[in-house]
Amino acid sequence: MAPRHRAWAEINLAAFRTNLREAAAVAKQAKVWPVLKANAYGHGAIAAAKICEAEGINRIGVGDSREALELRESGIRTPLLVLGTVIDSELPDMLTHQIEVGVHSELRARELNNLASKTRKVLGVHLKIDTGMARLGVRPEAALRVAQTIHEAPYLELRGVMTHFSAISGGKTAAGQQALFTSTLHEIQNSGIVIPSVHCASSAALYAKSGVIGNAVRPGISLFGILPREHSKPPNLQAVLSLRAQVVFLKDLPSGTPVGYGGRWVSHRPTRIATLPIGYNDGIPYRLGAEGRGNVLLRGCRCPIVGAISMDYCTVDVGHVPGVALSDVATLIGRDGKESICAEEVAEAAGTIAYEVTCSIGARVRRVFCEENQPHILNPIKKTVT
């Protein structure tokens, strides 16, 4: 039977659960607060949040207010924290739905308190300290003053103090940021302010272990079985996502035929080209089309992507694979037989990071949730070969 979708991402929920439990084991006494921003790095935030809730997670991090509202609307009751900053127009919704936000300045703390006082609702906030990322957060020398402002504001409740590291792996920057965070924390605590939650570790810091300071950690990418490039992957982490598309067209070409926009690839032997209904709008990096950098798996064989990636399609040279048929399942990320292509490999080939590869998977690509990888659905041998 032909696959139901043109292109789809299989999301292995069992693997996500495994990675979540692994994070909890590594974090020891610290709570795991999964970061599900960017639609859970392209994997589907609602499904991921439901698993988190079932696993007893007590806070989830999101990127902006709309992501938080989407989870609330889908029935997620777990406390939510907008990790970055919110803009003025987003604040009323944060109050109505009791979504926690990061505070990055004294001005923002005062504005939030004013607004909250009008609705007579207390807003939970986390003070973010900039220890070296220089993106968001109050400078360490101003942190105590802002913490006091929050502490004294009747409609704000200081739920946590946080920072975000710009580098991990034992380098100077990391050690410096950790030291700065710890000393700033002590300054706030010594003033008598109680900080319920202290959190700083993303995936890299969690698995580097030395980076865990405080009583909560904020892993994102590792929950999807990926670690940032310079870190070696712990063996227990499992890739969650497989990206697949079905062959919608096959054609035999004589040698010397240009393929795709600009005719930048020309067949150098008689061959067969399979067209897949997935392109750069669906998250296949355009750069994979140049110079045949990308590969897909068909019938367990690596096949080079040839010609430019288009918005909706890409073309693959399958001349060396016997029996490829219409509606065969091609794997762009994931396993097919003995071969596999991971998001890290795609990132490397496209000159980007694995985060961008999974986040970029477009809305048109169906997310198909399953409890295990489904290699058995791949390409039964057909009697009639097109």
Residues assigned a catalytic role? 37, 261
Report which secondary-structure segment, H or E, holds 258.
strand 258-259
Report angle CA 244, 296, 252 to the nearest 5 degrees.
Answer: 105
Using the minimum distance from each CB to ligand PLP, give the nearer residue, 84 or 300. 84
CA 160 to mean position of chain CA atoms: 23
Whole-angstrom Cα distance, residue 185 to residue 295?
48
Closest residue to ligand PLP: CB criterion? 220
Whole-angstrom Cα distance, residue 280 to residue 296?
15
Under rule CB under 6 A, residue 83 binds ligand PLP: yes
- Minimum CB separation of residue 32 from ligand PLP in Å reads 11
Under rule CB under 6 A, residue 203 binds ligand PLP: yes
- Window contacting ligand PLP (CB under 6 A); options: 187-195, 218-226, 298-306, 373-381: 218-226
Report which secondary-structure segment, H or E, holds 249.
strand 249-253
Binding to ligand PLP, residues 31-70 (CB under 6 A):
35, 37
Using the minimum distance from each CB to ligand PLP, give the nearer residue, 36 or 330. 36
Q: What is the DSSP string of 288-342?
A: GTGGG--EEEETTEEEEEES---SS-EEEE-TTSTT--TTPEEEEEEEETTEEE-
Under rule CB under 6 A, residue 221 binds ligand PLP: yes
Q: Which of 6, 43, 72, 164 binds ligand PLP (CB under 6 A)?
A: 164
Using the minimum distance from each CB to ligand PLP, give the nearer residue, 204 or 298. 204
Residue 115 burial by CB count (10 A; 0-12/13-18/19+): exposed, middle or buried? Answer: middle
Q: How many Cα atoms within 13 Å fall on the side-chain side of residue 374?
A: 20
Q: Which of 17, 72, 126, 218 binds ligand PLP (CB under 6 A)?
A: 218
Q: Count of residues binding ligand PLP (CB under 6 A)?
A: 12
Binding to ligand PLP, residues 18-37 (CB under 6 A):
35, 37
- Minimum CB separation of residue 61 from ligand PLP in Å reads 6
Give the three-class secondary structure for 105: coil
Q: What is the DSSP string of 171-193?
A: -HHHHHHHHHHHHHHHHHHHTT-
Whole-angstrom Cα distance, residue 256 to residue 86?
55
Using the minimum distance from each CB to ligand PLP, give the nearer residue, 218 or 244. 218
Under rule CB under 6 A, residue 283 binds ligand PLP: no
- Window contacting ligand PLP (CB under 6 A); options: 104-112, 196-204, 328-336, 366-374: 196-204
Residue 28 burial by CB count (10 A; 0-12/13-18/19+): exposed, middle or buried? Answer: exposed
- Minimum CB separation of residue 79 from ligand PLP in Å reads 16
Under rule CB under 6 A, residue 331 binds ligand PLP: no
Binding site for ligand PLP (CB under 6 A): 35, 37, 83, 164, 202-204, 218-222
